[in-house]
Amino acid sequence: MVEVAVTPPAVLDVSDLRVSYAGAVKALRGVSLSVPERGVVAVLGNNGAGKSTLLRALSGTLPAHNGAITGGTIRFAGRALSSDPAAIARGGLVQVPEGRRVFANLTVEENLRAGGLAAPDQAARAEARAWIDALFPILRERASQRAGLLSGGEQQMLAIARALMASPQVLLLDEPSLGLAPKIVEQVGAVIREINERGVTVVLVEQNAAMALSVADRAVVLEVGEVALEGAADELAESDAVQERYLGMATQAPVPGHRVASRAQPLRVDDLTVRFGGLTALSDVSFTVEPGSLHALIGPNGAGKSTCLNVLSGVYAASAGSVRYGERELTRLRPHRIAALGVARTFQNIALSPAVSVLDNLLVARHRRMRSGFVADGLRLPRARRERAEHEARVREIAALIGLDELERPVGTLPYGTRKRVELARALCAEPELLLLDEPVAGMVADESEAMARAITQARAELGISVLLVEHDMTFVMGMADRVTVLDFGRRIADGTPAEVQRDPDVLKAYLGGAA
């Protein structure tokens, strides 16, 4: 390292940027960021910190999300940034959107051509195309396939390649590692380094701090719409503040819950098989959730975990096998009948009414227990009012147990991690005996998933319920589960206590690949 005092000229300069949504919610409160030419700058932060908002401001897509810049400036290549997304992209500031967003019904080749539409000329397109063929040989092999058929990792590569077709001066990457296996994340990191070596400036927005800091020269950490930390990437990676917040160094696994007294009955899954057309999503899966226990169902992406949960809650039909809760067979019951037996679930994708307050979202779950009809309720008869007050009191108790306050706020304005806990609380408000949780910590950073783990353990201890937890993050369940069932490619490959499962060679192979 040579010590140079001169800072390279900033190609992208954000100064005191303020953004609000719907004229009210302040998402960015004076963010400044300077991206030097040919640099790699990482933007880190929790969900709700303002990372996506910053990217939307840079790509001109705020109006599409009902947001607006209320103050500050963005300068790109020495000029004020255009407000038209297409003009920004054609000017050389190109974004790879979050969730990849490849055009699923177009072929790989057509996706690349779509990206090339923003290139300055034919020569630039041809040059970019040759480079992409070298960088991503897999895309050349699958050029005539529909993009929707690619795996998640391949789609991410295609999304990056598509943006490179525009010969960008600055490439904005929104959460490129989201939902990808560790090995693929490593590949994405390597690709980003290679792109940068070709002279492209990179702005990398990531929750995965370890990956982002290993690639970036500089980093900023956003927190509730402001820059909380800023500095050279290697220094930040060493700093205690970042290690605690984003790498989970100082976090401790929650204490495993002991078996609690429970009203619940055992849930027995026997030789469950689910086929979609010719595809067998689950084959001969069996396990038992003992009353009052916390049972984890884990496995890599695509193992069949969500399918299993969807059969248990009546959303999908079983092709063969049985699911019994106590004495009742669940496979032929409609979802609301299963709910009436005391089996509640949460969803992987949040399914709450965003414009309605937390309290009202939770009260919906009490519907099954409310006796007064809508007429009595609408007329606010004393009986109905008394009933509502009772339910409201119980809902507040459960919310407190889960660590929710601000019950009057519309759900849509809450950060992601909190919304997931509202979902958990809503399921609990139905007073279930058995709770099915679908990836409760997906997409969360360390402190958010810790809060979720506390909420789950607490709820089980206080309410005496059984919990079936579906999760692909093995470390999360190890600290809290009594028993673990591991699925891979629709088959059960292990079943036992966390300690037993952790040592199982098949499990190691499924999770770590050939390296184990």
Q: Which residues bind another protein (CB under 8 A)?
A: 59-61, 64, 84-86, 89-90, 94-95, 97, 101, 103-106, 110, 113-115, 117-118, 162-163, 166, 310, 315, 347-349, 351
Task: Name residue 11's beta-bridge partners.
Answer: none
Question: How is residue 457 written in tokens?
Answer: 């353990």
The residue among 310 and 485 lying less far from another protein, judged by its C-beta, is 310
Comparing CA positions, the residue from 247, 191, 188 lying closest to residue 219 is 247
Distance CA 495, CA 483 (A): 7
Distance CA 456, CA 43 (A): 31
What's the closest the beta carbon of residue 89 comes to another protein, in angstroms?
Answer: 4
Residue with tokens 């599409």: 64
What's the closest the beta carbon of residue 498 comes to another protein, in angstroms?
Answer: 28
What's the closest the beta carbon of residue 122 comes to another protein, in angstroms?
Answer: 11
The residue among 171 and 384 lying less far from another protein, judged by its C-beta, is 171
DSSP state of 7: P
The residue among 91 and 292 lying less far from another protein, judged by its C-beta, is 91
| Burial of 122: CB neighbours in 10 Å, binned 0-12, 13-18, 19+ | exposed
The residue among 10 and 436 lying less far from another protein, judged by its C-beta, is 436
The residue among 147 and 494 lying less far from another protein, judged by its C-beta, is 147
Distance CA 176, CA 207 (A): 10
Residue with tokens 């190691």: 508
Amino acid letter, 151:
S
Sign of the C-alpha dihedral, residues 395, 397, 402, 403? positive
CB 483 within 8 A of CB 495: yes
CB atoms near residue 479 (< 10 Å): 15
The residue among 115 and 321 lying less far from another protein, judged by its C-beta, is 115
Measured CA to CA in angstroms, residue 117 lies from 90, 120, 163, 445 at distances of: 8, 8, 10, 37
The residue among 101 and 263 lying less far from another protein, judged by its C-beta, is 101
What's the closest the beta carbon of residue 331 comes to another protein, in angstroms?
Answer: 17
What's the closest the beta carbon of residue 176 comes to another protein, in angstroms?
Answer: 14
What's the closest the beta carbon of residue 90 comes to another protein, in angstroms?
Answer: 4
Question: How is residue 148 written in tokens?
Answer: 């929707």
What is the dihedral angle through the alpha carbons of 303, 305, 306, 312, rounded to the nearest 10 degrees? 140
Comparing CA positions, the residue from 487, 485, 507, 486 lying closest to residue 290 is 485
Task: Name residue 270's beta-bridge partners.
Answer: 322
What's the closest the beta carbon of residue 485 comes to another protein, in angstroms?
Answer: 21
What's the closest the beta carbon of residue 22 comes to another protein, in angstroms?
Answer: 13
What's the closest the beta carbon of residue 387 comes to another protein, in angstroms?
Answer: 31
The residue among 91 and 257 lying less far from another protein, judged by its C-beta, is 91
The residue among 101 and 386 lying less far from another protein, judged by its C-beta, is 101
